[in-house]
Amino acid sequence: MLSFDLLRFVRGGFGGHGGRIGIEYHDHGTDWCELALPWREDLTGDDRTGAMAAGPVVSLLDVAASLAVWHRRGQFVPHATLDLRLDHLRAPRANEGVIGRGECYRIEESVSFVRGIAHEGDPDDPIAHLVGTYMVTGARP
Amino acid sequence: MILPPYARTLGIEIASGEADTPRLSLPFSLDVVGRPGFLHGGAIAGLLEFAALAALRHVLADDSVGIEPVTSTIDYMRGGRDKTTYAAGRVTRLGTRVANVEAFAWQDARDQLIAAARSNFLLVRPLA
């Protein structure tokens, strides 16, 4: 099984959808990972308000939580998102980037359990909360 | 209906007539890839969100009503493959202050869903 080195993983930047929307590494601990998503006009959900759409915030938290799972495991075990539940606590502000923190709080044989929070710099004033699960896709490790 | 900037970033297009509940399509591209060869869960979430919003806008037929997402629950059922994904929403209840909306995403056949979402939206109606 491949060992997982978070900093090495994020060093080259993000590919695919994460790269397209401009996700960047921010910080991490033993069971959590924080990523940043700078504000961009093409991520907004409403031309009039200029606030970020919900979708990029979900993507940000999904990636952060995935990385938290692999980092906590210490191994890269391929998985797929099983479900995500988002609470949109307040509307994002115009022209504000978002920090997404994903935490893996439990790993079972085939399912990993995560939670996350998205904010604009002040964790005490979050814009969204997440809970979710990931399912190991291949043979169980 | 005009799609907002993030929908255009994903590459979402409207694949149905004006009179019907909007059906959206999302071509597969490197911009929406997660793990190699599969759609990103976040891109699917974005598609479902816009399908839900489009269905709600269609039913409301009143642009003066503001729509704010409150909760969203997404089930991922199949990996999204290297092909076009379709999505459509269904308003299960339209209240005065809250709308309950489902949205479904599929590729090959509408009864083979790759993901589904259930969302609650707050409706902000202009003062009478």
Sequential DSSP letters for B38-98: SB-HHHHHHHHHHHHHHHHHHHH--TTSEEEEEEEEEEE-S---SS-EEEEEEEEEE-SSE
Please count the structural domains in chain A: 1
Per-residue pLDDT, A50: 87
pLDDT tens figures, A77-123: 999 999 999 999 999 999 999 999 999 999 999 999 999 999 999 99
Residue A93: how many CB atoms within 10 A of its CB?
Answer: 15
Please count the structural domains in chain B: 1
Range of the domain at A75: 6-136
Which of A16, A55, A82 is nearest residue B34 as measured by Cβ atoms?
A: A16
Work out the percent of chain B whose per-residue pLDDT is above 70. 98
Chain B residue closest in CA terms to A59: B42
Q: Which residue, A79, A93, A82, A54, is CA-closest to A4? A: A79
Work out the percent of chain A whose per-residue pLDDT is above 90. 87
pLDDT tens figures, B77-115: 999 999 999 999 999 999 999 999 999 999 999 999 999
CATH code (residue B95)? 3.10.129.10
Q: Do A45 and B4 touch (CB under 8 A)?
A: yes
Query: Which run of H or of E encompasses A12?
Result: none
CATH code (residue A105)? 3.10.129.10
Predicted-complex ipTM score: 0.92
Chain A residue closest in CA terms to B6: A43
Range of the domain at B59: 5-124
Chain A residues within an 8 Å CB radius of B40? 16-18, 59, 62
Tell me how far apart the alpha carbons of residues B124 and A129 are, in angstroms, rounded to a whole number.
22
Average pLDDT estimate for B41-59: 96
Return the structure tokens found at A65.
């939580």
